[in-house]
Structure formats: structure tokens, C-alpha cells
Structure 1
Amino acid sequence: MSIASDSPVHPALRVAVIGAGLQGANLARHFSMSTDWDLVAICDTNRSRAEDLARTTGKPAVATSVNELLARHDVDAVAIATPARTHHAIALQAIADGKHVVVEKLLADSTERGRQMMVAAHEAGTILMADHTYCYTPAVLKIRELITAGTLGDILYVDSVRINLGSIRPEEDVFWDLAPHDLSVLDFILPDGLQPLSVSAQGADPLRSGKSCVGYLALPLANGALAHVHVNWLSPTKIRQMVIGGSKKTLVWDDLNPQQRLSIFDRTMESGRREPFLRDPIRRNDGAVSYRLGDTWSPALSEFEPLGLMVSSFAEAIRGKHEAPTEGSSALRVLSVLEAATDSLALGGTKVPVGNTHALSEKTNRTSTLEFAR
């Protein structure tokens, strides 16, 4: 529950949004509506664009540089919604000034820069959090709840598809553009987070754009499971779907189906007992597998704005109520997979080990006591 801005015990936190583009506008709108926050300023090098956004979000002040913002306005936190290549410098400047930071995906444009941001925030005692918005959606929160409760059993495989007819981005390939959404969700829902043994990437550039426009990621997990991610800018149809196969049940998340986003299937294949048939060459395979065909059901989901929950969770993390659900180490794990994918592409799809972020995660994580805790 949000704390009212006029509460004498927990006054509203003061925040500035850096970047007045589409994502910055979404963040500013939710900060301005939240009783946890007081939107103090909009910062953008384009003053006209910043002023336009300010007029629709309560008329906060406008600044045209981070230096001006930090010098003139007393804020507790900043939300960075600028290109990924700029996140490192802006975040380090804000952290050095004692500000808490939430960063629009991606955390940074490399794991090294992301790691430097994490270390700086840890040493300064400030919160560093990534806005992995899908992790705050009702569907993904329910998926995490079901996996944690053991409803699906052991995870055997994950097959994720995110395809559409999209524009070729000048700064990144399809992996760095679309896959962060799926990877951040995997990190959020898997009991041990996103810690694949390796990454294998296959990409294609049929348009000769100089970057992969179609791609596939294979992520073997420690328990023998396999996660697979398909991303594509060239599909005439838009699909946002994830299938999570468990030893007990299988879950299908169809994000484009508002009537039934989640479906749980009590259908699976199980290993049978083969011992009675091993000596009989004709019936040797009869006991290899068995099938279970049960009911299909769809859990009820709450309806709320994911960004609204994100900004509220950011405030609660700052106030020490719980660990930020998508704190820096989770964002760094996503970056590590993307970098390994880039290396794999350069090596023709060879398996590439993923950089170990676990030790740093343990060092920087804060103890969590609420529902977002792993």
C-alpha cells in the first residue's frame, strides 16, 4: 500500500526523470501519480521536449543537463530513460551525489560498466535498480508464485517467443533489443535466477543491415533443463508467448491474450518403469514413457499498471522495506547473457560460458522480508 505524500512519518520521496522520450514519459506519468513520490524535475537536452512532458505531469521543473539538475534540485532519486550507452556516466554521477537510481533497460551497454555501477551504489549505500517492467506484470508475478509454490514441479524447459514486424535499430541487434524482456523474466521466475551454464546464439541478417534481425538463444540450466529464446524483427505477426514445462504441469503465458494470459495444463510425459521389458526386444520400449492427460485451467489475475508497482517498489526499497525486486545484480545477469550471446555469434554459434555474477550479487544484495524475496 502506498504511503500518502503528506504522511509525517514517510513523506514523499523526491525524484527527477532524466530523458523525456517515450519511456521517460511513461516513468514521469507514474511518478507523478504515485503518492510515494514527488516528481521534482524533468531533464532532457531538448528543452522543448522536456517542457512538453512537464506540462502533462504536474509542471515539475525543467533542466537541460544532469549537472544543472543535481546542482539546482534537491532529489532523493533519479530515473534514467536515455540510450543505454549513456546510463553508466549518468548513473555514476547521480550515485556520487548520493542519489538512488532506477535505470530503464538495459542497465548499461556492457557488464563491466554495469558492474562499476553496482559497486559504486554498494559503496555509496544507495539503491540501484533496473526497470524490467515485465517483472511487475500480474501474469509474471503469478508465474513466479506458482513456480515458488511447486505447482509446476521441477522446471524441465522454457520456450519463449518474442517476434513482430519491427524497425531495425541503429545501435543494437535483435538480441539486445528484444531478448532482455525474456531474460529478465527468466531471472525473476526461476528459483535460482538466470544462471545458465552457457549460451549458444544463432542469428541471421537477411536484410543485410549489418546486424542480426532474427535470432535464437539456447541456455542450458544447471538442473538439466533448457531455456530457449526466439526473437525476430521480421515477423508479420506479433507473438509474445512463453511455455514453461514442469514435471507436474505446463504453463503457457500468452501476453497478447487479455482474456486468458495464463493457462495451466495438467498434461505431461513421464518416465515409466522399463525393467520388466528390458529382456524382451519386442516390448523393450513399452515402458519407456507414460502420458498424463488432465484438466486445463486459467488462474485469475489482478489488474494494475506494472510501472505503478515498479515505482512503488523502488520507494519501498529506498525506505528499507524490502530488496529491490529487479536490483542491479539481476540486471547484470541479463547483460552477462547478452554479452555471451554476442561472443557466440562471433564464433558461429559456439557455446560460450556466462560470466559469473553470483559472488557480486551475494555481496550487494540486501536482506528481503517481503513477497519479492527469492
Structure 2
Amino acid sequence: MKFSTLVKIALLTFLVSNQITAQQVYKEKFAHTFSIVARDKVTGEMAVAVQSHWFSVGSIVSWGQSGVGVVATQSFVNPAYGPDGLKLISEGKTAKEALEQLVAQDEGKDFRQVAFLDTQGNVSAFTGEKCVASAHHIIGDNYSVQANMMLNDNVVPAMAKAFENYKNLPLADRVVKVLLAAQEAGGDIRGKQSAALVVVGAKPVKNSWEDKKINLRVDDHATPLVELQRLLEVHKAYEFMNKGDLAVEVGDMKNALKEYGAAEKLFPNNLEMKYWKAIALANNKKLDEALPIFKYIFEKDSNWKELTKRLPKSGLLSISKEELEKVIKL
């Protein structure tokens, strides 16, 4: 029988002995974990990041909305703290007011651990007295770190120290460092399985699909934080790629080349990034520089050669027929 199952049975027995029904608390998902909610005082961006020894922790613990705030809801998770908390904050309540209202209404509050942060940097956190030890939280300047069912009492202080120590990093990198510090200090007593990172902006967005600036999840992995860190680097690279694509759309091939080149530096072995850099070079009348790159790519995968034949019709490759033939013959 898995350790987590044994803990469930013990906690369920404890709930019944304390005259709290299983329907009130046990029906909620079991996500003991460590997390951070934080705000960058310069950019106004807000982040929530989490790791747990539980499958797909990002699907229930981490919540955020641009121009509103971020929420981490964990332990015996009441997911309603996420959307309900953000709604209250969007209606004008501070993080503290919103959290206090929801905790007061929650019959299972003794088993909850929750943290709210709003656009003004107001932070509030709550750790129920019946959360599994080691469980506590620390509120600091524009952040809160919280954990339950940790191996020891060193985890949460290590998280706070890491957030203070990495002030010069972008917010996403900074909160990942916090999670890594938590794991190094001992982490979840059960081990590790999943992780997530959400970053939202300081101001509301017009379109819902623009709301999450970063939205990464590692649902099941032997080393979820290593994978989360890798995905964050991939995200950065593809942000450069996206900017390059936008530059192509408006005919700014010089800027496209710059953005594609920046992406390739992050992932030099990625054929996609090499390819669009070569396209940008060709479009900037630097075909001689592009040819060896095309040759390398075509030797790795001939499908890229077939794609190249199709690009002129779409306006993505603006070279002469003679130049195109030179590329295709590689």
C-alpha cells in the first residue's frame, strides 16, 4: 500500500473522530505540497509556482488572472478558493479581505492551506491547524511561501531566503529557484511527482487567451523541477520565435533575423529554430550565409526541403526562382 494511501486512511479516521464528515473535506483532492505566490515590484507581473508528490498538481493548486492576482490552494484542496478568490479581488477586495471571507465560510478550513496575492502586492496566507506537519507559511514583501507535509521545518524558511536572494532574476526564474530551494531543504516527505508555474500580467487583458504570460505544467515526472526549469527555457526560446514570426508578418525581416537568432542561441540543436533563422537570412539577401544552414537541416530531415518549396506561395520566403533552386538542390 502506498504511503499516500496510508496517510489518507489515517486522516479520514481523524476527520471522523473530530466530527467532521468525509463529505465536508475528504471529497476534496489531496494535494500536500509547497508553493509560492509572488509579485515583481518592477514589472508588476505575478506568479504562482508549486511542486508536489501528487499527479498534476498544477490542475488544482495554482490559479492566476492578469490584472487581478494569483492564488495557491493546497493541503486538502478546496479548488473554489482559486476562482472565488480571484473574483472577490477583481471586485475590489484586497488579498487579505478575500481570503478571510472565504476561510470564514469554509467548514473544512482547519485542513486548508491557501495564499492570495493581488496587483498591489498585498499578500495573505492561511495554514489550518490540522494541516499535516511540517506545515506553515511565511509572508514577505510581495510574496508568500507555504508548505505542508514537508520532511522538516527548514523547507519554508529556505524558500523565503531564496526569494530574497534572487532579486535580480526575472520573476519566473526567481520562483523556480524558490521551489528548488524547498526541494534541497527536504521538500515533501513523500518525494516529488509534479510541478507547475503560472505568470500573469499587472494589467487586465482584452482576450482570455492572452491572460497567462507563462503557463507550464509537469504532470508526472521523476524530477519535476528539473523538467519545469527546462520547459521555462523552451518557453523563452519560443517567445523569441513568436516575435520573429510577428516581424515576418509585417515584413520586418531584419528584426525577424534578430529574434530567430536569439531563439537559436537558447536551443542551438533545434532544427525549427535553425530553419527559420535560415529563412530570415535568405529574406535579408544573405543567402550565402543561409545555404550551409539549409544544407545541415536538409541532411537531418528532408521534410524541411519540401516545406521550403511551399513557402514562396505563402509569402514567407521572398527569393528569386534561381535562388530557390539553389536552396532545393542542396
The answer, yes or no, to whether TM exceeds 0.5 is no
Which structure has greater helix proportion?
A: 2
Of Structure 1 and Structure 2, the greater strand share is in 1
Structure with larger Rg: 2
